Structure 1
């Protein structure tokens, strides 16, 4: 995780997903809080193409900060609060 360069976009994604109902439109099906947010919706909010958003989301999921849930052809992302708290504790301890 420490080898991944900090990115303003990835920090924005993590912040937005803290309160997804506030930052993203309500989908036709599902719930942004329970199910997560699709990559194309994140891409639109970032103002980037979907591939760029996919790479940021995959990286965050790869280090465990996001959980990915596949529904049909789409993948939805939401924060893994337990993992984020664990990482925060490691840094608080001076890791």
Structure 2
């Protein structure tokens, strides 16, 4: 179950349409140009996410950090690159919590 504070963080993260779109795009990591099947496990590089979103690096990083803090995505660092993927287990728990609460 998500606590009230955790739910608030999720709702804040999802209040922005661009952050919601990032989460939707990450549902299909292979839709990003240059993604290889072996990349799916670690996620999508921030650079690729930034290019698709048409945002600056700083804004993209802030949006992804907010989604990470809300427990919706997981970040993996490889060298100087950071990759993001959806946290499907946590998203399922969130949906279960919402069903229980509402």
Band of TM-score, shorter chain: 0.7 to 0.9
Alpha-carbon distance between aligned partners in 1 of 2:84 and 2:46, rounded to the nearest angstrom = 8
Question: Which ranges of structure 2 fall in alignment gaps of 5 or more residues?
Answer: 1-5
Kept after mapping to 1: 8 A contact 2:71/2:87: yes
Structure 1 residue aligned with 2:70: 63
Question: Which ranges of structure 1 fall in alignment gaps of 5 or more residues?
Answer: none
Shift of 1:35: 1.6
TM-score by length of 1: 0.87
Instruction: Give the counterpart of 2:43 among 23, 36, 46.
Output: 36
Instruction: Give the counterpart of 1:12 among 21, 24, 35.
Output: 21
Alpha-carbon distance between aligned partners in 1 of 2:68 and 2:24, rounded to the nearest angstrom = 15
Task: Say how many residue pairs are matched.
Answer: 92
TM-score by length of 2: 0.81
Kept after mapping to 1: 8 A contact 2:29/2:35: no
The DSSP-based 3-state class of the residue aligned with 1:87 is: helix
Alpha-carbon distance between aligned partners in 2 of 1:48 and 1:26, rounded to the nearest angstrom = 19
2:69 is the counterpart of 1:51: no
Shift of 1:8: 0.6
Shift of 1:47: 0.8
Kept after mapping to 1: 8 A contact 2:46/2:84: yes
